[in-house]
């Protein structure tokens, strides 16, 4: 590894930034705060999209698309919503440019001012609920279960690739229901979808919980979340699902006639995950030698590197590799045969290790004679010699093992950093070490805010599986009925 690539222990933030760029995942663009997602990074995002899209459709949702631009008046209709997003909004005021009369360049045409300013979509609740008003009249029109894949703009001042950018990619689900019970069931169902995706596809253990009022989505009655731990002990919110109650239906006058003939406002949910998951994937699993990708999200799951001295040897190796490649592809395993003559095998080994390819196979003339291949796994860096016979099946099982091992390793790390604290002095000491602090809280926003101001730690969630436990708030000493999770977060 080059000396200009810091270890996680030396500088975790710089390690992350350098890894994203050097692994060809993304780079900063000419537009401040925005990123270019490069092909290798986008290939991972496409895999995430593909799995999630199927999970959404398997639970009855369909995709649609809504406008990028939102009339400013829409945003102001839901008071908490506008307050939550006002500081992050990009606003379109004019629709035309023209050459300056003094020849100094292009200027905004002052005569092309919009009658109503438009907000570049920070989230779509308002434009969607304005649309739903025309779609919903009767209980027969419900539920509406819609998702959209889109980009959004939130004008962040401090940005970091994938984790926080002015523009990012995401999906946002927006559903409409006849009863509160149906909407709450939907909210919890989609939280479970996100948790299943994180754990089984990303190999990322998460804690399901509900946000406090201070941390709740602007305009929601309840926000549910999945929280993950990164290798520096910080939390990362990996997905959210919101029970919106009737707030947006009332703001946009969306009513339906029930079976009893009475009119009532519709009940709503929204839920989303974004390219922030890319940051979670990198920070949860990767090491000082580069990316570590779970096989289910790796663009290349297996790379085969030939070791040869002349064209005749390469020809013989290629014939054997063709059989293996066909076998792997028949098992729905993505494989690359790197027979480039522009780089030596050692250089290729380093490249694929850095890019997190889960399995590397090396085959040379001696391997052909013995009917073997050298197989190296990225997660543990272990190498073994395997027979070419049934190698496709063995690699298939190895990939399953790697997927599970990456999850187990992340879970073990998280468990080692889950710390119960019972005093304020202990809280202040332990938060400096990173991790999730399980502590009592008196339930007041005032105490939550004071803890944040003094330690930069926030309540990540009130775990859904938390047991009742009588105790005293770690800060105020007032009574508490259960522990919540505090952490510093991205």
Q: Work out the pLDDT band at 148, boundaries 50, 70, 90.
A: very high
In this predicted structure, what is the pLDDT of residue 2? 46
pLDDT digits (tens, 9 = 90+) for 315-329: 999 999 999 999 999
> Has residue 3 got a pLDDT over 60?
no
> Has residue 170 got a pLDDT over 70?
yes
pLDDT digits (tens, 9 = 90+) for 377-425: 999 999 999 999 999 999 999 999 999 999 999 999 999 999 999 999 9
Structure letter (DSSP) for residue 402: H
> Has residue 157 got a pLDDT over 90?
no
> Has residue 232 got a pLDDT over 50?
yes
133 to 147, 161, 180, 461: CA distances (angstroms): 17, 37, 18, 33
Q: Where in the chain do CATH 3.30.930.10 domains reside?
A: 12-91+120-285
In this predicted structure, what is the pLDDT of residue 309? 95
Strand, helix or coil at 211? coil
DSSP-derived secondary structure for 373-390 = EEEEETTT--EEEEESTT
> Has residue 1 got a pLDDT over 80?
no
Residues, the chain = 490
Phi and psi for 423 in degrees, rounded to 5?
Answer: -135, 160
Lowest-confidence segment of 74-88, 253-267, 330-344 by average pLDDT: 74-88
CATH topology of domain 418-487: Translation Initiation Factor IF3 (3.30.110)
- Per the DSSP assignment, residues forming a β-bridge with 119 are 70, 91
> Has residue 431 got a pLDDT over 90?
yes
DSSP-derived secondary structure for 423-469 = SHHHHHHHHTT-SEEEEE--S-HHHHHHHHHHHS-EEEEEETTPPP-
Mean pLDDT of 66-79: 93
Mean pLDDT of 458-473: 96
Q: Where in the chain do CATH 3.40.50.800 domains reside?
A: 295-413
What is the gyration radius of the CA atoms in the chain, in angstroms?
26
Strand, helix or coil at 329? helix
> Has residue 84 got a pLDDT over 90?
no
Compute how many other C-beta atoms are within 10 angstroms of the C-beta atom of residue 95: 11
Q: Mutual orientation of helices 391-416 and 311-330 as an angle, nearest 10°?
A: 70
The answer to whether the CB of 333 falls within 8 A of the CB of 341 is no
CA distance 339 to 321: 11
In this predicted structure, what is the pLDDT of residue 78? 86
Mean pLDDT of 333-339: 98
The answer to whether the CB of 323 falls within 8 A of the CB of 354 is no
Mean pLDDT of 416-440: 98
**Cα–chain-centroid distance for residue 171?**
10
The answer to whether the CB of 248 falls within 8 A of the CB of 78 is yes
pLDDT digits (tens, 9 = 90+) for 5-29: 899 999 999 999 999 999 999 999 9
CA distance 402 to 393: 14
Q: Work out the pLDDT band at 79, boundaries 50, 70, 90.
A: confident
CA distance 416 to 430: 13
Q: Say if residue 456 is exposed, middle or buried (CB neighbours under 10 Å; 0-12, 13-18, 19+).
A: exposed
DSSP-derived secondary structure for 217-249 = -TT-SEEEEEEEE-TTS-EEEEEEEEEEETHHH
In this predicted structure, what is the pLDDT of residue 82? 80
Compute how many other C-beta atoms are within 10 angstroms of the C-beta atom of residue 394: 16
pLDDT digits (tens, 9 = 90+) for 250-293: 999 999 999 999 999 999 999 999 999 999 999 999 999 999 99
pLDDT digits (tens, 9 = 90+) for 97-119: 999 999 999 999 999 999 999 99
Average pLDDT, the chain: 97
Q: Is the peptide bond before 143 cis (omega within 30 degrees of 0)?
A: yes
CATH topology of domain 295-413: Rossmann fold (3.40.50)
482 to 191, 225, 226: CA distances (angstroms): 22, 18, 19
Strand, helix or coil at 253? coil
Q: Where in the chain do CATH 3.30.110.30 domains reside?
A: 418-487
Q: What percent of the chain is modeled with pLDDT above 90?
A: 96
Tokens (6 digits) for 386? 């395997």
The answer to whether the CB of 378 falls within 8 A of the CB of 301 is no
33 to 24, 29, 40, 393: CA distances (angstroms): 18, 8, 21, 45
Q: Is CATH 3.30.465.10 correct for 12-91+120-285?
A: no
The answer to whether the CB of 209 falls within 8 A of the CB of 192 is no
Nearest residue to 418 (alpha-carbon basis) of 441, 436, 440, 439: 436
């Amino acid at each position: 590894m080059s000396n200009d690539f810091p270890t996680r222990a030396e500088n975790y933030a710089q390690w992350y930034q350098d890894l994203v760029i050097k692994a060809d995942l993304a780079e900063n663009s000419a537009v401040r705060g925005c990123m270019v997602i490069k092909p290798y990074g986008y290939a991972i995002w496409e895999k995430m999209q593909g799995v999630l899209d199927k999970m959404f459709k398997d639970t009855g949702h369909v995709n649609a698309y809504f406008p990028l631009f939102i009339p400013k008046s829409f945003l102001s209709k839901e008071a908490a919503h506008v307050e939550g997003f006002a500081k992050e909004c990009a606003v379109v005021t004019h629709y035309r440019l023209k050459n300056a009369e003094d020849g100094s360049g292009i200027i905004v045409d002052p005569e092309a001012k919009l009658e109503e300013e438009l907000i570049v979509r920070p989230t779509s609740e308002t434009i969607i609920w304005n649309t739903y008003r025309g779609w919903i009249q009767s209980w027969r029109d419900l539920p509406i279960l819609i998702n959209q894949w889109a980009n959004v703009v939130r004008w962040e001042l401090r940005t970091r690739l994938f984790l926080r950018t002015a523009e990012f990619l995401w999906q946002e689900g927006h559903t409409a229901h006849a009863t509160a019970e149906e909407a709450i069931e939907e909210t919890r169902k989609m939280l479970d979808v996100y948790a299943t995706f994180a754990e089984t596809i990303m190999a990322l253990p998460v804690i399901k919980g509900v946000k406090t009022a201070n941390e709740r989505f602007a305009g929601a009655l309840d926000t549910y979340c999945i929280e993950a731990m990164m290798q520096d002990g910080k939390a990362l919110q990996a997905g959210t699902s919101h029970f919106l109650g009737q707030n947006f239906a009332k703001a946009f006058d969306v009513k339906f006639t029930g079976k009893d003939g009475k009119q009532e406002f519709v009940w709503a949910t929204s839920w989303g995950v974004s390219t922030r998951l890319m940051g979670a994937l990198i920070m949860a699993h990767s090491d000082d030698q580069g990316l570590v990708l779970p096989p289910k999200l790796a663009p290349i799951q297996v790379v085969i590197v030939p070791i040869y001295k002349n064209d005749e040897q390469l020809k013989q190796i290629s014939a054997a590799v063709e059989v293996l490649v066909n076998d792997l592809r028949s098992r729905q395993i993505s494989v690359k045969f790197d027979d480039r003559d522009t780089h030596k095998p050692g250089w290729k080994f380093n490249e694929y290790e850095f890019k997190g390819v889960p399995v590397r196979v090396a085959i040379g003339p001696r391997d052909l004679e013995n009917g073997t291949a050298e197989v190296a796994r990225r997660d543990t860096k272990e190498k073994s010699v395997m027979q070419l016979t049934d190698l496709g099946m063995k690699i298939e099982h190895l990939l399953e093992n790697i997927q599970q091992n990456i999850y187990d390793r992340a879970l073990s790390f998280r468990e080692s950093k889950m710390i119960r604290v019972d005093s304020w002095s202990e809280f202040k000491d332990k938060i400096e070490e990173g991790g999730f602090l399980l502590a009592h809280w008196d339930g007041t926003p005032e105490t939550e805010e004071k803890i944040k101001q003094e330690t930069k730690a926030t309540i990540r969630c009130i775990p859904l599986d938390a047991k009742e436990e009588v105790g005293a708030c770690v800060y105020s000493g007032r009574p508490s009925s259960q522990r919540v999770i505090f952490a510093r977060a991205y």
